Chains A and B, each alone.
Chain A
Amino acid sequence: MKTLSLTPNNALWLSASQASLRKLDPRAQLRNPVMFVVWIGAVFVSVLWLRDLFGDGDALWSGQIALWLWFTVLFANFSESLAEGRGKARADSLRSAKGETEAKKVQRDGKRIERVSSRSLRAGDIVLVEAGDNIPGDGEVIEGIATVNEAAVTGESAPVLRESGGDRSSVTGGTKVVSDWIKVRITANPGESFLDRMIGLVEGAARQKTPNELALSVLLTGLTLIFLMVAVTLPFFAHYSGGKLPVTALIALLVTLIPTTIGGLLSAIGIAGMDRLVRANVIAKSGRAVEAAGDVDVLLLDKTGTITYGNRMAEAFLPAPGVDEVELTRVSWLSSLSDGTAEGRSIVELAKRRLGDLGSDAQRVTKSVEFTAQTRLSGADLDDGTELRKGAVQAVITYAFGSDESHVPPAFRKAVERIAESGGTPLAVAVKQGGETRLLGAIHLKDVVKPGIRARFAELRAMGIRTVMITGDNPLTAASIAAEAGVDDFLAEATPERKLELIRKEQQGGRMVAMCGDGTNDAPALAQADVGVAMNDGTPAAKEAANLVDLDSDPTKLIQVVEIGKQLLISRGSLTTFSIANDIAKYFAILPALFVSLYPQLAPLDVMRLHSPQSAILSAIIFNALIIVALIPLALRGVRYAALSASALLRRNLLIYGLGGIVVPFVGIKLIDVLVSAVGLA
């Protein structure tokens, strides 16, 4: 006997198939009026099939129609179940991390500890979490300091510090305290944690439709009503025309005309969109935020971490007059060898790039001098007593010349000023050898803009999204980095208040604003923004105010969130267009078949030259069911998204889904008809 291997994918398919059967329950179908009409049609035709079976009707034909009508409902159910399954797989892995754990609940007296189940914890309860314990729920650290491994939610294995007060007080349920202890005030009731909310977003039955999805359902229901009028009144007109229309054929006409393709896939598209967000490790607190992300006009991006790497890097060596650049480079390198900071490492890197192999000089270093806040210098001493120093310009000048600054070459001063003006940070380098001190020159440290970010911003601009860089830097520095990164605007010397003010101003102009933030003082701005993404390592206040939480605490995610939002909307629009455009071909398949008995002269209307009226109607119904299956991958994956202007996007999608929607069913129905008639099914 062949054994069936249950790989995760197979398991997913199996459970989705089972779920699609369960969803045949009419109460589940009522949620979706379009598919409910198909469901009723399927019941009707099944009864007619029974009548045919025991009567003298064409039971083979009505049986097949009934079967495909049931398949239509099942396929739609399957698409939803599959999307749910994929979303839940991720949520389940998170949930299992959370699981039910034992919590040490601190009693009201503040001393006694009671051991309770994590599920019984309510907002406001205080728990003690010690090294080795899982944190039982989302909350805020109110006492103590500890390192926490958050790998369960972020996938990042390096433990992070969590302490009371300040911006690092937030903890997530399911993460684990590695060292020390903390007291946590639980902020979420059971079923209301971020994780629970996320699970809710990917579960079909519990899911709240997002605003646009709701609007679209209204339209689809309206179209269904209109086509219902078409189908119900048709027998009257046929009666006048001297004939009767078979009820099975009428139901087939109705089902093919109502927007079953989009009606069947709408829910899956929505769930898949949320799932893509979850895969990007972002939790949405409501589906609304994801749609809003697609509409964003202005992105407020923090400079550090999003636009620049956040630490300064050596960009150039600028020798003082009469100093060889090679000497400056070599000294800078030697003095930075033992400097473990990012700046120090970048100096070593740059020197290596400039000079290639620097030989064995490194072995001459006998002592390294650490940077202190007092000296603001660091460097190294060589075996011959030579002192190499680098540091803040003023500190190095004092080190080299004391209070007598007349020895400082004007050209050096100019160079330093130019660095500062360009938004960089100058470091000075000096060497003391045998009682003589020489100022060798300056190192230009620069806030390095991430590669590719400029192109990204250009893309966003093409999509009509303005980027605004938020930085605490002075306007001069900010302007320089803004120009280099290619953002449209910047807010220098930013404070939470100024951020909030900026958001309000943009919103008054009718624009939708997205931002990310982590501190408690970001909370008002996060709440004000249309799309607010809080970093998971941010404060509970920030996370509460935001409508999205990024588990990776990566501010760049904001751009990705916008793209996910847009892709969701595009998928929905494209499939709606496709679905509606399909109707033309279906009319041309079914109407001639339906009316040919009334007016045989109508034969020329059968432009597809289908085999027989029975095969025409059957083929249209089969196409109608199969197209749902064929489009499931597209619904789950989302329509391919490219950063293009609205006009270009429209042109492309209209060509594929509009024109395609008109042509594809003509070809598809004809092919199915050839097959069906060849096999002799109709």
Chain B
Amino acid sequence: MHGHDLFRFLLFVALLLALAPPLGAWLTRVFEGRARGLGGVETGLYRAAGIDPAREQTWATYARSLLAFNGVGLVLLFALLMLQGVLPLNPQHLPGLSWHLAFNTAASFITNTNWQSYGGESTLSYLSQMAGLCVQNFTSAATGFAVAVALIRGITRRETRSLGNFWADMTRVTLYVLLPLSLLLAVFLVWQGVPQNFDSYVSATTLDGGTQTIAHGPAASQIAIKQLGTNGGGFFNANAAHPYENPTPLSNLVQVLSILLLPAALVFAFGRMVGDRRQGYPLLAAMLLLFVVGFGIVYAIESHPNPLLASLPLDHHAGNLEGKEARFGVFDSALWATATTAASNGSVNAMHDSFLPLGALVPLVNMMLGEIVFGGVGAGLYGMLLYVLLTVFIAGLMVGRTPEYLGKKIEAREVRLLVLAMLSMPLCILVFGAAAIVVPQSLSGLQDAGPHGLTELLYAYTSAAANNGSAFAGFTANLPYTNTMLGLAMLIGRYAYILPLLAVAGSLASKRAAPVSAGTFPTHAPLFVGLLIGVILIIGGLTFFPVLVLGPVAEHFAMLAGTTW
């Protein structure tokens, strides 16, 4: 690794670890209802909506509120997208979307996936972007937070049925966390040169006489929440590789940092909320370890030129630059690719399709693991907690007690729900993927043959199921079949995961907590980190090993042998 790249990576990790703890402390205050400052606005909102924030909900009511809220969001967004042609704030006079694209996009944004089957500037009006996507950017992130908080409460509370109030959790986290941070970041981005206006697109004549349309719009405000809320849906189609979306090295650093900021902070908040900060550290350690290794692999692979091109008389010292924005190069592209798939962000500043096979394997695996390496806002923590509970259940027996986590016994009911949640990823990736690879319409969207084509398709379904939203490119998704199936995968990947976990939270909350003794399975020790990673890789990862072998791994070995398709 080049010395200055190592320095930049360490700086990135240091910044993340410096900012996350204080933000975690603030998150804790917000979740516990101790955040003040906008009290007037908060109570005003409650009063307007007729909500009593002190009224606690059972897991079922909490889940119903969540489903109702997201369901209404889905319908409204769907309608807005279909009707955008007749609605205001549409200077380009863009028509309404097709039903399947509208469904795909609506599902994509309420599930925090933010997959782009559409092309931002060429498909969506300003109203759709602002009142549709941007609003869902906030609410889907807040929903993730709410689920994570409910699960933490389930773990910490004793002999109760209540998990908090969904509406209050949503309001607080939006008001005290997402809005202020987004405002801050948006102002910063405007300073760095990201546009924030309602102008029509500008037509320019290029030097060689061609005509170029330069898109504008209220970009900064949307990009801010897109990063902070691990949404990732770009304002422009090229996402963070677009010079207006990501103009400077500084904007690049701050954006990639803000992808991981809230998920990392939430881990610290978890430690605080369970009353033992040491319990957050192994989770953080496991995340960091997987992140560092993932980044290391992408960086190492991409630092070398494509072996098939290595013999050409070119300057190869910059590594594999195909599909990378020349402004960013290998380091920034590798860091972004790792971060965006570790978290469920999905924004990109390079084309993952052009990564070398093993370089592309890392983002893919990151998502297949369920995005628990920091992960989506809220989703990363509850996903990681699923693995923690699973680890405790499998290995906890080895200390001679029935498994328990933070004093709560993991019994048949919890295991049943955890297994249910675990089924959604293989279902959406393997079963949907297998269907997609034989359905002619879906296959017609495939750009490349051979294992690379399989990777493209696999990536799309993985990205949808994991609610990531990053696109591998090379796979045309805007087809009725693919739009519908990917939309379904997003919904299943989100709600078939959330609902069982909320039920787990309800079940755990009703239990007594056993006190810690020398006989308690140690979940804060370094050993637990290794164990957790082992379970994540074996249970979460090995499932997808066969298809990965047929995709990127086969492509890698074929490439080494000089075979192309």
Select from chain A the residue with minimum beta-carbon distance to B519: A464
A574 to B400, CA, bound (A): 10
The reply to whether B538 and A233 contact each other, CB–CB distance below 8 Å, is no
Residues of the B chain whose Cβ atoms lie less than 8 Å from the Cβ of A663: none
Docked-complex contact A577 and B519, CB < 8 angstroms: no
CA distance A632 to B390 in the complex (A): 26
B16 close to chain A: CB less than 8 A = no
Residues 292-319 (chain A) with a chain B CB within 8 angstroms: 294-295, 297
Q: Is A7 an interface residue (CB 8 A)?
A: no
Of A195-203, A219-227, A668-676, which binds chain B? A219-227
Chain B interface size, under 10 / 10 to 19 / 20 to 34 / 35 or more: 35 or more
Are A604 and B415 also in contact (CB < 8 A) when A646-B521, A653-B398 are? no
Spot the interface stretch: B22-30, B213-221, B332-340, B543-551. Answer: B543-551
What is the bound-complex CA distance between A572 and B437, given in angstroms? Answer: 41
Report the separation of the CA atoms of residues A229 and B542 in the bound assembly, to the nearest whole angstrom: 13
Known: A226-B423, A237-B547, A463-B519. A291 touches B402 (CB 8 A): yes
- Which chain A residues border B557 with CB–CB below 8 Å? 599, 601-605
A223 lies within 8 A of B411 (CB): no
Identity of the chain A residue whose Cβ is nearest the Cβ of B525 in the assembled complex: A647
From A233, A240, A650, B398 is in contact (CB under 8 Å) with A650
Query: Which residues of B sit under 8 angstroms from A570, Cβ to Cβ?
Result: 397-400
A230 at interface (Cβ–Cβ under 8 A)?
yes
Residues of the B chain whose Cβ atoms lie less than 8 Å from the Cβ of A577: 394-395, 398
On whether the beta carbons of A215 and B410 are closer than 8 Å, the reply is: yes
Tell me if B433 counts as interface (CB < 8 A to partner A).
yes
- A-B pair number, CB within 8 angstroms: 217
Could you give, for residues 521-532 of chain B, a 1 whenever the CB lies within 8 Å of some chain A CB and a 0 otherwise?
110010100010
Contact (Cβ within 8 A) B430 A229: yes
In the assembled complex, B401 has its CB within 8 A of some CB on chain A:
yes
Beta-carbon contacts of B408-419 to A below 8 Å, as 1s and 0s?
001110111011
Consensus secondary structure, chain A interface: helix
Given contacts A226-B543, A229-B430, A577-B395, contact A211 B400 (CB under 8 A): no
Query: Of the 9-residue stretches A69-77, A380-388, A581-589, which lies at the interface with chain B?
Result: A581-589
A576 contacts chain B at the CB level, 8 A cutoff:
yes
* Bound complex: CA A154 to CA B547 (Å): 60
Do the beta carbons of B546 and A569 come within 8 Å of each other? no
Instruction: Point out the residue from A294, A509, A605, A650 that lies within 8 Å of B522, measured CB to CB.
Output: A650
Could you give, for residues 237-252 of chain A, a 1 whenever the CB lies within 8 Å of some chain B CB and a 0 otherwise?
1111100000000000
Give min CB distance, B115 to chain A, whole Å: 22
CB distance from A215 to the nearest CB of B (A): 4
A266 to chain B, nearest CB (A): 12
Q: Are the CB atoms of B549 and A658 closer together than 8 Å?
A: no
A510 and B513 within 8 A (CB): yes
Alpha-carbon separation in the docked complex, A221 to B412 (Å): 12
A566 interface hit (Cβ, 8 Å): yes
Q: Is there contact, CB below 8 Å, between A646 and B399? A: yes
Contact check, B434 vs A601: say whether CB atoms are below 8 A apart: no
A324 to B429 CA separation, bound complex (whole angstroms):
93
Could you mark each residue 547-580 of chain A with 1 if its beta carbon is under 8 Å from any beta carbon of chain B, else 0? 0000000000000000001110110111011001
The answer for the CA separation of A233 and B432 in the assembled complex, in Å, is: 9
Most chain B CB within 10 A, of A573, A583, A587, is at A573
A294 in contact with B400 given A215-B411, A225-B423 (CB within 8 Å): yes
B residues 497-534 near A (Cβ < 8 Å) are 512-515, 517-522, 525, 527, 531, 534
Are A601 and B426 in contact (CB-based, < 8 A)? no
Q: Nearest chain-A residue to B412 (Cβ)? A: A215
Chain B residue with the shortest CB-CB distance to A239: B438
Assembled-state Cα–Cα distance A223/B538 (Å): 11
- C-alpha spacing A253/B423, complex, angstroms: 19
Q: Which residues of B contact A584 (CB under 8 A)?
A: 538, 542
Query: Is A141's beta carbon under 8 Å from chain B?
Result: no
In the A-B complex, list the 8 residue pairs whose CB atoms are closest, starting with the nearest.
A573-B397, A464-B519, A222-B419, A566-B400, A464-B517, A236-B434, A464-B518, A233-B434
